[in-house]
Amino acid sequence: MSGRVLRAVRALALVVIGLVAALGAGSAAFTTRAAPVTAYVPPTDPPAVTAPVSVIPVPTPTPASPSPSVSPDPTAKPSPRPSITTTPTPAPTPVPATGAAVAIHVSGNHLVDAAGNTITLDGVNRSGTEYMCVQNNGIFDGPSDATSVATIASWGIDAVRIPLNEDCWLGIDGVAAAYSGAAYQSAVEAYVSLLHQYGMYAILDLQWTAPGAVEATYQENLPDYSNSVPFWASVAGAFKNDPATIFDLFNEPNNIGIVGCVAGAPAGCQTAVAESAAGNGEGAIWWCAYAGTGCITNQNSAEFGDWQIASMQDMIDAVRGVGASNVVMVGADQFANDPSQWLASVPTDPDHQLAMSFHVYNFNYPCVDVSCWNSELLPIAAQYPIITGEIGESDGSASFIDTYMTWAGSHGVSYLAWTWDTWGCGGAAVLISDYSGTACSGFGAGYQAHLASLRP
């Protein structure tokens, strides 16, 4: 049975189960979308948020109140809003779909499922776990129970990306114990388990970070060696026996100045320092943030002091060092939208389980049209799977994402829409108006209709 048929059967099963419970009391080629088998983006023109000294806003939209201390991005995302959770009419706990175990890995330049079928992912982002904990408002923004997960699955979604906060996971830097450390880890693990029960893959994304003992209250331009490397060693240790969970190493890398090198750093670090001093910050970043190691930046030094960047290679080494062979996503530069030097800078993975991470919004720069996707992404897709971790637009419609999804579908590229949160419909990339799954007109309804079109 094809991947799409499987997904349709499971989506139908979920609906039937819900009806029954309520009455009693819920191999294909690139065109095959992943089927459930078991039971800030460059600016989104959102509200500007005040952030610490010289922080460049991030492209991934975040809610708007309580506002996270994030500096406005050139591609601003909505600042986190308090979760407005619409409680659906009381209903029995949904019963998960049943079937073979969920698993995903890289084979050549594509993703395959547990049976070895080539798949692509059609998913959503579930924001909240990056900011709620550090704002002392809980762990999830909105419900995280079986009913809410069944609702996500009912759209035909097969993957959910979960943004994380390194301080909350590690239980450090003053985050309340009720929302960090063991409590935070257990909540995330339980949610991932629920996703798998409903036939969905999980993508764990490092999004909010801060070096040293400073609380991670927004997303820095690059991850920090002091906390991001231990974060990935810990997360990988927790999920290394879960082949249905993917690790997205850092949400949206962006350029920052390089001012020095740690003792014993490779010669490439001094070259990066010279390039940065000469104004070639982008060239320096591709080495320091990807295949290099040992680079020191003065980004937000008034708050942090100078600090060491964690490169993608550093974080891959941390993941593989604990024995985790999970698929790992490595993002492009410039809010994950500039893939121009990705192939030349890609880190080494001894397990050969790398996927390229790309983000695209209608307000992104520089890669937002078919011409760029053909020239920059297709050479990467010939060697690695591409997972578009975020797609969206700021005009309330779905016209831009429709163009991208059509292109992606014809080239075996996966995508996940931002965001399954109730931040308000209309001007930002928000899919739903309530957690019972009511689609926002335009953007949300357009994505929902696209997912429905993938079913037989």
Q: What is the DSSP string of 306-322?
A: SEEBPPHHHHHHHHHHT
User: For position 316, what pLDDT does the model report?
Assistant: 98
Q: Please give the pLDDT value at position 64.
A: 47
CA atoms within 13 A on the CB side of 262: 14
Please compute the mean of the pLDDT values over residues 149-156 and round it to a whole number.
98
CB 128 within 8 A of CB 58: no
Query: Is 8's pLDDT higher than 70?
Result: no
Banded model confidence at residue 291, pLDDT cuts 50, 70, 90:
very high
What is the distance in angstroms between the CA of the first residue and the CA of the last residue of the chain? 11
Identify whether the C-beta of residue 240 lies closer than 8 Å to the C-beta of residue 232.
Answer: no
Report pLDDT for 409. Answer: 98
Phi, psi of 452 (to 5 degrees): -65, -35
Of 44-48, 86-90, 137-141, 298-302, which has the strongest mean pLDDT?
A: 137-141
The one-letter code for the residue type at 99 is G
Q: What is the CATH code of the structural domain delimited by 3-254+314-453? A: 3.20.20.80
Q: What is the pLDDT of residues 230-253, one digit of tens each?
A: 999 999 999 999 999 999 999 999
State the pLDDT at residue 419.
98
Question: Taking 70 as the threshold, does the pLDDT of residue 48 lie above it?
Answer: no
| pLDDT (average), residues 96-122 | 88
Residue 150 vs residue 5, higher pLDDT? 150
Continuous H helices in 25-116: none
Of 453, 360, 343, 345, which Cα lies nearest the Cα of 400? Answer: 360
C-alpha span between 202 and 388 (Å, rounded) = 14
Contact 30, 120 (CB under 8 A): yes
Give the model's pLDDT for residue 283. 77
- 3-class SS at 203? strand
258-261/201-208 β-pairing: unpaired
Burial class (CB in 10 A: 0-12, 13-18, 19+), 3: buried
Nearest to 334 by CA among 44, 47, 55, 59: 59
pLDDT band for 177, please (50, 70, 90 cuts).
very high
CA atoms within 13 A of residue 315's CA, in its CB half-sphere: 32
pLDDT score at 97: 54
Mean pLDDT of the chain: 84
Phi, psi of 400 (to 5 degrees): -70, -50
Kindly state the average pLDDT of the residues 328-335: 97
Q: What's the whole-number mean pLDDT along residues 2-23? A: 37
- What is the percentage of the chain residues whose pLDDT exceeds 70? 78
Going by C-beta distance under 8 Å and a sequence separation of 6 or more, which residues neighbour residue 436?
86, 88, 151
- What distance in Å separates the CA atoms of residue 437 and residue 122, rounded to the nearest whole number? 16
Which residues, 6+ apart, have CB-to-CB distance to 399 below 8 Å? 393, 446
Q: pLDDT tier at 101 (50, 70, 90 boundaries)?
A: confident
Q: Where are the beta strands (DSSP E) in 209-333?
A: 245-248, 258-261, 295-297, 307-308, 328-331
Query: Per the structure block, which two tokens stand in for 55?
Result: 């922080």
Structural domain spans, the chain: 3-254+314-453, 257-298
Quote the CA–CA distance of 57 and 49 in Å, as a whole number: 8
- Please report the pLDDT score of residue 261 as a whole number: 97
Residue 255 has what pLDDT? 84
> DSSP code of 376?
I
